[in-house]
Structure 1
Amino acid sequence: MSDPFAPLAGPGARETAGRPAGAVCLRPVPADAPPAPERHPTLGEAAGRWVYRDAAGELVGFALRFDQPDGGKEFRPLSCWRMPDGRMAWRWTAWPAPRPLYGHDRLAAAPAAPVLVAEGEKAADAAGRLLPAVVVITSPNGSKSAAKADWAPLAGRRVIVWPDADEAGAAYGTAVVALADGAGAASTAILSPPAGAAVGWDAADAEAEGWDAARAADFIASAAVPVARPDGARAGKPPVAAGKKSSGRTDSDPATARRRRPAQRDSLMGLCEGVGLWHDEEGEGFATIPVAQHVENWRLDSKFFRRWLAVRAYEADGLAPGGQALEDAVRVLGARAYSEGTERAPCLRVGASEGRSYIDLCDSAWRAVEIDAEGWRIVSAPPVAFIRSGQMRPLPAPEAGYLVEELRGFVNVERDDDFVLLLAWLVAALRSRGPYPILTFAGEQGTGKSTLSRLVRELVDPNAAPIRAAPRDDRDLIVAAVNSHVIALDNLSAVPAWLADGLCRLATGGGFASRTLHTDRDESVLQAVRPIILNGIPSLTDRADLASRAVTVRLKPIAETARRGEAEMLANWQTAAPRILGALFDAISCGMRRFDSIQLDRLPRMADFARFASACEPAFGCEDGTFLSAYNANQSDTIETTFEADPVAVAVRDLIRNDCPSGWHGSATDLLSALNMKASESVKRLKLWPATAASLGNRIDRIAPVLRAQGFIVERRHSGVRTISIVPLASEAM
């Protein structure tokens, strides 16, 4: 290693190595000092150069790194001196102790910021880039020279040390903590390298590995929670060992305890001043948070609220809160939301208040559309408590003055009636109150079912994943319903019984119950009503209960000459979607205006849906009665398809028409026996064919609506003996 005290070439070359007698180090460097050299006389060009400044930002010197041909590296301090003859000269020598801290100027400029001590200037710069809210400093001349630095500026500061991952680093960290405590630091803590860190790993390595500010903040939070020094501990005096006497106050002294830094949990809760706490009817806690010029509503146990609170803590202290402290704070806030907050109804995408409907635009300003009988408008502070999930996306910004007919250019329906039914489903799905019909797109391959499902959803409830595969079980279906207003399932080949039951409950309103995680007795219940979109090639409404809630829109194949490129179609859609959405809002307003005047002679299964859609007919551009005629015809077609797909229903019809023209009366056992006598072996091997009398009884209950649609009266009697009665209407009339 070359001599670190070698004089500069030139005027100082005749001087001996080291500091000449009578020379004085100049701190700060005078403005009229000669320029610092760019090269070392023997080591050459520097690979790294770090500027040291004092508290006022004045230059005090440099530290430089020189890379060697053998892969080694040399470090040299560069300081300015006034020589005995009065001239000023730069020398490759360190400042006399106490030496300046690298980053002293930043330390002085941010007196309230926490302080991070890194090992070496390169690591300090990397840590500063990763943690911009923290003041990062280091001491000069390597890990063994920590005691020669001036640590007095750390008095009253919160200090964390990030040493290198090696023995020298551990020694440096221990030394800095002791020196900072001796200087009067308010608190000190030291970081341990993460598991698997290479020898010598430091902040520069972390940055090279792709760490970001969040990960660096989490790492800083892993340091031991800083503890304030007792006021009785004098600067420069080490702590008293256990068992030895001390004249200073102890941790058990109430006066000292009062002056201790508050628990991190309490600090986090203090950051929530101005946050509105409330709960829903199930007791789940929510927070209304002021952000910029609007407010946002989040579940207290959501990652969004935790992230907001962590960011607030980082902005306030420069440190990420520990996981346990965050968990404790959220738990206490949840208890306060339940015991002290008001009860409100959280609304996902749609809501209502005082006769007005509200639709969350899901934009960054948390604006909503307000609709009443007079029209619609965008409002910045809706009175309902909208909540959001991470998958929700903004609606198109609605534009007024257009017609719903513009949607026709994107929909290849077989009949005009189907377009009316689609419009009816859209206005229903944008309302805050169900029940909602289940929209089913049917058609052969190449009819655009998936594309149309995406577009329709974008008009109601845009989502990061607009259409999805079928859920695996009830729990997946519940999760989807909790996080979005619309459930859209794509490319179904069949609808199994459990899924059909779940979709029916979601469409008309029903509860899903499951055991609360990590408990044996508590039960979590979801009460939800959601619009649903299904698409597939085969019939998806084979079950009667699903068919009675469905609106089936049949699509025709798209001719090769009529196909458009996806980019062209999406560009046209981006222009049209805001207009179509505004027209749908006009239709909803029309329906609200006319709803009370609409009286239907015969109410279908989805009565509220049918009545509101009928009220919207003028906005659809059709005459009164058009919707109800289309809806009744659609229901008849769907039920007929459902009947033909059910082997038991077909077998019962054939049995009565061919063998029992006056009707069937008897037990389920007798009916099963009669059906088995008539059914072919291939039919009896079907999974849908009942194996027992009990399963047949259940099937009769399910297919009763489609049998009635075929002209049969179905009754179950329980007077002594359980019997089934299935009678043709013509026979009943006789």
Structure 2
Amino acid sequence: MDSVERLAHAINVYRDSCGTLWVDAPVNRALKLESAECRDYVTEKLLKELGCKPTKQVIDVLISKLRNTARAGPTVEVPIRVAAIRAGSGFDLASGDKIILDLADLQGRVVEVSLQGAQLTTYRRVSFSRPPGLLPLPEPHLGDNVNVRQALAPILPFPGDDARTVVAAVWALTSLVPIIPQPILMIVGEQGSGKSLLAKVLRELIDPNGSPLRRPPDSERDLFIAGASSYVLAFDNLTGIQKHLSDALCAISTGGGYSTRKLYTNDEEVVFTIRRPVIITSIDPVTVRPDFLDRTLLLELSALPDKRPILELEETHERCKARILGALLLSLQDALVARCFRRAEKLGDPHRLVDMHELALMAAESEHFGWTPEVVDAAIRSNRDQVRQLAVDASPIISLVTELAREGFEGTATQLLTKLEALAPKIQARRGDMPRSPEELGRALAREEPILRSRGVIVEKERGLAPARQRLIKLSLDSAAPVAAARRPVSLNPAHFAKRR
């Protein structure tokens, strides 16, 4: 048993903040202690140590010792694909912080983004989880003669000066910083517009996988399990999304947790805490809930005028990957260095994902990005306005409340509902799109308030004077905000009053 003791001390084990136990393995890899793969690894180590095949009892004894050591040991987070090494809170390259991108190749190489630059290395301070399906990234081209705009041009279905190219680049850049909220990239377009191909291409830039595009899971549990098994989540051809999955994707985008009962147990809990970049493709927007749209970058595609053979496209994509990845990493390094030595200017009315907005503007100062900060800022803001308009077009009350705010309103929810019903087109009333009770109207106002605020509408709730002390709602326009556009002519097309998914 001396050999078992020696191995128990030689093998590095630890646990993560969710309680999962891990074992370090070659090369730069972490294995779940309870996995079959880890058992095979331990068996191989015993075979080399003992000189003969170990018995099941010996294997079980070693795993038990490793389990006890891991439970009593330090807490270490185990990343997938991208890691942030930090000395403390925040992130500062000048303090020795780093971004590490796992190429997941046979040599165990990574790209280290630090104050010294973006360098290919075999960094040994972090071990990565490499679940089944995870594929290696190409060695990035880290030369001086690359920029994201030029490198992306051959693989995107729109020109380099199109704002959508900037949006795609911002999504990819942000995905390389796992400690900030991640955008949900929603790619919409008619059949034959190349949505699935674009989603696959963008995912493979950061996190290639044997199954790059998947059908959406049916439950929150399955969604978080998918997030624990890959870095980029890409779901293809959605026709809609249920509220609980919309909320779960919001949590995964900004960083959230989920707990569930461990299978085959009554009182053991499994906890997932993840933050992931997300890609969704659909013909129509999958939801118009404001909290989801606030985290969304939108790419709208049209039918491709010229169809190209898929093998030719794949060859082009493969040829461009290394240059795109290299340009993104160099842009990221320049942005993080700039962040070290000067404070970012305070943005007026920034995107909900303000870290993404600031990172993109700093990257735009790099010669490796390809756009000016003014162009990037305009593209992000224009995209946000485009996304918000989806909610306005689908909501039965936003335009009506904006019109009332223009005139000024103060009254109870019942009085407000009466006013809105008087303004609403008859077709809306017949379809039942309007809130049907004061309580339902109150919930709708709370849900739409971020969009209303962006249109300059102020919603105030207060108590009236004694003795009634009624709850009053006051609507007005913010004089400092841009005046919301006048109400558009009412359409009689029922499709324009689509119910909220």
Both structures adopt the same fold (TM-score exceeding 0.5)? yes
Alignment match of 2:70 (pick from 316, 332, 337): 337
Alignment match of 1:701 (pick from 427, 443, 446): 446
**Partner residue, 1:572:** 316
Residue 329 of structure 1 deviates from its aligned partner by 5.1
**Partner residue, 1:609:** 356
Deviations 1:352-378 (A, max 9, x none): 223211011111222211012442111
User: In structure 2, how many angstroms separate the alpha carbons of the residues matched to 1:346 and 1:464?
Assistant: 21
| Structure 1 residue 359 corresponds to structure 2 residue 101 | yes
| Structure 1 residue 713 corresponds to structure 2 residue 458 | yes
Q: Secondary structure at 1:364's aligned position in 2?
A: coil
| Structure 1 residue 275 corresponds to structure 2 residue 8 | no
Alignment match of 2:328 (pick from 571, 584, 588): 584
Q: What percentage of residue pairs aligned between the two structures are identical?
A: 28
Alignment of 1:656-671 (within 5 A): 656=404, 661-667=407-413, 669-671=414-416
Alignment match of 1:546 (pick from 278, 283, 292): 292
Residue 704 of structure 1 deviates from its aligned partner by 0.6
Alignment match of 1:350 (pick from 78, 82, 100): 82
Alignment of 1:144-223 (within 5 A): none
| Residues matched between the structures, number | 459
**Partner residue, 1:382:** 124
C-alpha change, 1:601 and 1:714, in structure 2 (3 Å) is: same
User: In structure 1, how many angstroms separate the alpha carbons of the residues matched to 2:432 and 2:68?
Assistant: 51
C-alpha change, 1:367 and 1:698, in structure 2 (3 Å) is: same
Residue 673 of structure 1 deviates from its aligned partner by 5.0
Alignment match of 2:233 (pick from 445, 466, 487): 487
Residue 461 of structure 1 deviates from its aligned partner by 0.9
Deviations 1:603-650 (A, max 9, x none): 332111111110111322222322111111111111112111122334
| Structure 1 residue 419 corresponds to structure 2 residue 155 | no
C-alpha change, 1:327 and 1:553, in structure 2 (3 Å) is: farther
User: In structure 2, how many angstroms separate the alpha carbons of the residues matched to 1:501 and 1:632?
Assistant: 24
Q: Secondary structure at 2:252's aligned position in 1?
A: helix
Task: Please say if residues 453 and 488 of structure 1, whose CA atoms lie closer than 8 Å, have aligned partners that are also in contact.
Answer: yes
Residue 686 of structure 1 deviates from its aligned partner by 6.1
Q: Secondary structure at 2:30's aligned position in 1?
A: strand
Residue 429 of structure 1 deviates from its aligned partner by 0.3
Q: Which moved more, 1:634-643 or 1:599-608?
A: 599-608
Task: Please say if residues 363 and 369 of structure 2, whose CA atoms lie closer than 8 Å, have aligned partners that are also in contact.
Answer: yes
Letter matched to residue 444 of structure 2:
R
| Structure 1 residue 299 corresponds to structure 2 residue 32 | yes
| Structure 1 residue 432 corresponds to structure 2 residue 178 | yes
**Partner residue, 1:533:** 279
**Partner residue, 1:633:** 382
Task: Please say if residues 8 and 65 of structure 2, whose CA atoms lie closer than 8 Å, have aligned partners that are also in contact.
Answer: no
Task: Please say if residues 140 and 326 of structure 2, whose CA atoms lie closer than 8 Å, have aligned partners that are also in contact.
Answer: yes
C-alpha change, 1:308 and 1:408, in structure 2 (3 Å) is: same
Letter matched to residue 344 of structure 1:
V
User: In structure 1, how many angstroms separate the alpha carbons of the residues matched to 2:102 and 2:183?
Assistant: 21
User: In structure 1, how many angstroms separate the alpha carbons of the residues matched to 2:244 and 2:309?
Assistant: 38
Task: Please say if residues 663 and 731 of structure 1, whose CA atoms lie closer than 8 Å, have aligned partners that are also in contact.
Answer: no
In proportion to residue count, which structure has more helix? 2
User: In structure 1, how many angstroms separate the alpha carbons of the residues matched to 2:192 and 2:412?
Assistant: 49
Task: Please say if residues 393 and 464 of structure 1, whose CA atoms lie closer than 8 Å, have aligned partners that are also in contact.
Answer: yes
Q: Secondary structure at 1:490's aligned position in 2?
A: strand
User: In structure 2, how many angstroms separate the alpha carbons of the residues matched to 1:327 and 1:498?
Assistant: 41
Letter matched to residue 351 of structure 1:
A
User: In structure 2, how many angstroms separate the alpha carbons of the residues matched to 1:718 and 1:642?
Assistant: 30
User: In structure 2, how many angstroms separate the alpha carbons of the residues matched to 1:698 and 1:332?
Assistant: 54
User: In structure 2, how many angstroms separate the alpha carbons of the residues matched to 1:517 and 1:689?
Assistant: 43
User: In structure 2, how many angstroms separate the alpha carbons of the residues matched to 1:601 and 1:429?
Assistant: 21
TM-score (norm 1): 0.58
Q: Secondary structure at 1:395's aligned position in 2?
A: coil
C-alpha change, 1:690 and 1:515, in structure 2 (3 Å) is: farther
Letter matched to residue 411 of structure 1:
L
Residue 513 of structure 1 deviates from its aligned partner by 2.6
User: In structure 1, how many angstroms separate the alpha carbons of the residues matched to 2:186 and 2:438?
Assistant: 33
Q: What stretches of structure 1 of length at least 5 have no aligned partner?
A: 1-261
Deviations 1:541-587 (A, max 9, x none): 51111111111122233213xx2211111122222111211111111
Deviations 1:695-715 (A, max 9, x none): 332221111111222331123
User: In structure 2, how many angstroms separate the alpha carbons of the residues matched to 1:305 and 1:681?
Assistant: 65
Letter matched to residue 569 of structure 1:
L
Task: Please say if residues 12 and 23 of structure 2, whose CA atoms lie closer than 8 Å, have aligned partners that are also in contact.
Answer: yes
User: In structure 2, how many angstroms separate the alpha carbons of the residues matched to 1:319 and 1:682?
Assistant: 77
Letter matched to residue 573 of structure 1:
H
**Partner residue, 2:88:** none
Deviations 1:84-103 (A, max 9, x none): xxxxxxxxxxxxxxxxxxxx
**Partner residue, 1:173:** none
C-alpha change, 1:441 and 1:295, in structure 2 (3 Å) is: closer
Letter matched to residue 352 of structure 1:
A
C-alpha change, 1:672 and 1:628, in structure 2 (3 Å) is: same
Task: Please say if residues 84 and 98 of structure 2, whose CA atoms lie closer than 8 Å, have aligned partners that are also in contact.
Answer: yes
C-alpha change, 1:495 and 1:717, in structure 2 (3 Å) is: farther
Task: Please say if residues 595 and 611 of structure 1, whose CA atoms lie closer than 8 Å, have aligned partners that are also in contact.
Answer: no
Q: Secondary structure at 1:359's aligned position in 2?
A: strand
Deviations 1:428-467 (A, max 9, x none): 1012321112112222222211101111111111112111
Q: What stretches of structure 2 of length at least 5 have no aligned partner?
A: 86-95, 483-501
Task: Please say if residues 346 and 385 of structure 1, whose CA atoms lie closer than 8 Å, have aligned partners that are also in contact.
Answer: yes
User: In structure 1, how many angstroms separate the alpha carbons of the residues matched to 2:133 and 2:6?
Assistant: 30
C-alpha change, 1:670 and 1:271, in structure 2 (3 Å) is: same
Alignment of 1:257-276 (within 5 A): 272-276=8-12
C-alpha change, 1:302 and 1:699, in structure 2 (3 Å) is: farther
Alignment of 1:296-335 (within 5 A): 296-312=29-45, 322=56, 330-335=63-68
C-alpha change, 1:505 and 1:295, in structure 2 (3 Å) is: closer
Residue 483 of structure 1 deviates from its aligned partner by 0.8
**Partner residue, 1:392:** 134
Q: Secondary structure at 2:37's aligned position in 1?
A: helix
Residue 595 of structure 1 deviates from its aligned partner by 2.3
User: In structure 1, how many angstroms separate the alpha carbons of the residues matched to 2:447 and 2:179?
Assistant: 27
Letter matched to residue 555 of structure 1:
L
C-alpha change, 1:469 and 1:273, in structure 2 (3 Å) is: same
Alignment match of 1:497 (pick from 243, 268, 274): 243
Residue 687 of structure 1 deviates from its aligned partner by 8.2
Letter matched to residue 717 of structure 1:
E
Q: Secondary structure at 1:715's aligned position in 2?
A: strand
Task: Please say if residues 434 and 507 of structure 1, whose CA atoms lie closer than 8 Å, have aligned partners that are also in contact.
Answer: no
Task: Please say if residues 459 and 577 of structure 1, whose CA atoms lie closer than 8 Å, have aligned partners that are also in contact.
Answer: yes
User: In structure 1, how many angstroms separate the alpha carbons of the residues matched to 2:305 and 2:426?
Assistant: 42
| Structure 1 residue 403 corresponds to structure 2 residue 147 | yes
Asked which structure has the greater CA Rg, the reply is 1
**Cα RMSD for the two superposed structures:** 3.0
Residue 732 of structure 1 deviates from its aligned partner by 11
Residue 588 of structure 1 deviates from its aligned partner by 0.8
